[in-house]
A and B are shown apart, each in its own frame.
Chain A
Amino acid sequence: MELNKLDLFSIRLIAPEIILISIALILILLDLVIKRKETIAFVGVLGTLTAAYVNYKLCAMGWTGSTLLGMFAFDGYANFFKLIFYINIILTIFISLRYMVLEEASFGEYYSLILFATSGMMFMASAVDLIVLYVGLELMALSTYILVGITRRQVRSNEAALKYFFLGAFSSAFLLYGISLTYGLTGTTNLKEIASALQNLNLLENPILFLGMILVIAAFGFKIALVPFHMWAPDAYEGAPTSITSFMSIGPKAAAFAALGRVLFDAFGPMHVQWSSILIPLSVITMAAGNIIAIAQTNIKRMLAYSSIAHAGYALLGIIAGTHGGLSSMMNYMAIYAFMNIGAFAVVIMLRSKGFRGEELTDYEGLAKSHPAASALMLIFMFSLTGIPPTAGFIAKFYIFMEAINAGYTPLVIIAVIFSAISAFFYLRVVMYMYMKEPKAHVTLSTSPAIFLTIAVTAAVTLILGLFPSLLVELAKMSIAGF
């Protein structure tokens, strides 16, 4: 081992992660002395902003490369996803403040766990070694299990956490089995070295390696919630506190997409034919099941869970394309999805008030009469999730379909467009309920400045990116340049 060759100077590349983890540890200690949870949340946001600033500075100085003996890459690809993660933390904290008090689960650990989960995601996005990838995934997953069950007096939250935990543990086993098979055949866990071992040891047609790759894809399939690995998602999404539903429909999904993209492109790049032949049917049944089952839902959180499954199916097209353009369109998709989904969940959270859950679709009946502004914003998010111009959701779908067509997957894109049209039914049903029905009960919104800011920002970004897509598209292209 050449441990001492580790260049201490290159440790600077994991400075954002170090800051985030330190802040999370400080939050644990602060929680013991400070009773006001807003202060803890504020320190958490401040710490995230510091990490984001340091990350930006490192980017601005043009430093790229790897550290920790080449197991951790600091490149544009990882940094793009880290940007999504920072936004995800801050907006999640904003929508949690009032809501967690309403749920009577205002714990300081909550904020610390969000930071821990996110640092795990950041390690996943940067991992160029399967072991680092696995450790990052576990850090993310274990923190998320606790967050799902944090409203511990509610039975459905406990149930959700338990289901998520068991299936998550299952998927970790898949991942480890896949990693060990790959390691056994190639003799390395480094992604680039796996790729060269595939060529040098003539392993491209090896059935055992193929099995290992399938297991790795299945493990990420669990995290992304691809059908048939989606069973946990609706229950976990419904049972978790809504702020965490929003957090985990974006963070872990984007992290797993980042890791999947890197593993498939870097390590299994020469086997594109094989892995795309697995991903294509997965993507089709994911879009089909997600969109069709969503129609039958009456609970908006469950509906958004199936919608999140369906969106994973669309985003997968970017990876299936197997080109850099496809990968960058997947990154776009994740970023845009983050904004529109947090926005939609923020509106769902506003409906929750003391003694009123506000999670049923019927609760939205006639909302436009009593709360026109909130309804108009929900309308934007629903249009965006459907993919109607001029919202960002259209841009996300447009680029991903275009890249898939360029790569020659036209039939797949036709299927995706058909399911996208079906999805309009359940997204626009929410809009129909809000605008074309008479209000049944009086709904009071629980607003707060933080939640107001979140919705304003997400709605603005959804519209701005819909009108000026090049802002994000160019950033994604630039990020992937050195990949």
Chain B
Amino acid sequence: MPGTYIPLNYLPVLIILIVATLVGLLPLLLGIILRPKRYYPLKLTPYESGNPPVGEPQSKFSVRFYIIAMLFVVFDVEAVFLYPWAVAYDRIGLYGFIEMIIFIFILLIGYIYVWEKKALEWE
């Protein structure tokens, strides 16, 4: 029946969501209420580690960065998969090991492809 099932195990998750939101919002709200409101140009300029700001943030990026970004995602995902695999390794044993070897092997082929297509060279 709908409505009868209450996932009690997830209650801490809900609580931490609420607490996290409050921890983020409360200082901001307090700041808005308490701080004196005096604006002048220097105060309104973006903070760039103490240096005077140079130019607009919407400058052009080299299109080459997108290939780097894509490759990063692929190998990042590999790392993401490796973590749970390593944690569960003692339970999944040889079978899990072979699976992971196959997975890394497929990525290796992708790596060779990328290398040979000269996507890793900057010029």
Contact = CB atoms under 8 A, between A and B. Distances in A.
A12 to B, nearest CB: 15
B4 to A, nearest CB: 11
B93 A29 contact: no
Interface stretch (A1-9, A189-197, A327-335): A1-9
Q: Is the interface of A mostly helix, strand, loop or mixed?
A: helix
A3 B109 contact: no
Contacts of A32: 112-113, 116-117
A4 B96 CA distance: 9
Contacts of A4: 92-93, 95
Nearest to A26: B109
A207 B109 CA distance: 47
B106 interface: yes
A84 B100 CA distance: 32
A25 B102 CA distance: 12
B27 interface: no
Contacts of A3: 91-93, 95-96
A200 interface: no
Contacts of B109: 25, 28-29
B105 to A, nearest CB: 9
Contacts of A28: 109-110, 113
A155 interface: no
B2 A207 contact: yes
Contacts of B112: 29, 32
A32 B93 CA distance: 36
B47 to A, nearest CB: 37
A208 interface: yes
Contacts of B110: 28
A384 to B, nearest CB: 41
A277 interface: no
A207 B3 CA distance: 11
Nearest to A208: B2
A185 to B, nearest CB: 8
Interface in A160-213: 202, 206-208
B91 A1 contact: yes
Nearest to A1: B91
A28 B112 CA distance: 9
A226 to B, nearest CB: 28
Contacts of B2: 206-208
A59 B109 CA distance: 32
A1 B110 CA distance: 31
B20 interface: no
Interface in A190-245: 202, 206-208
B87 interface: no
A392 B72 CA distance: 50
Contacts of B113: 28-29, 32
Interface string B2-23: 1000000000000000000000
Contacts of B42: none
A208 B106 CA distance: 40
A3 B85 CA distance: 13
B106 A25 contact: yes
Contacts of B92: 1, 3-4
B78 to A, nearest CB: 16
A6 B96 CA distance: 11
Interface in A16-45: 25, 28-29, 32
A6 B95 CA distance: 9
Interface in B74-123: 91-93, 95-96, 106, 109-110, 112-113, 116-117
Interface of A: 1, 3-4, 6, 25, 28-29, 32, 202, 206-208
8 contacts: A1-B91, A3-B93, A3-B95, A3-B96, A4-B92, A28-B109, A28-B113, A29-B112
Given A3-B91, A3-B92, A202-B1, 8 more contacts: A4-B95, A6-B95, A25-B106, A25-B109, A28-B109, A28-B113, A32-B112, A32-B113
A-B pairs with lowest CB-CB distance, top 6: A32-B116, A3-B92, A25-B109, A28-B113, A208-B2, A206-B2
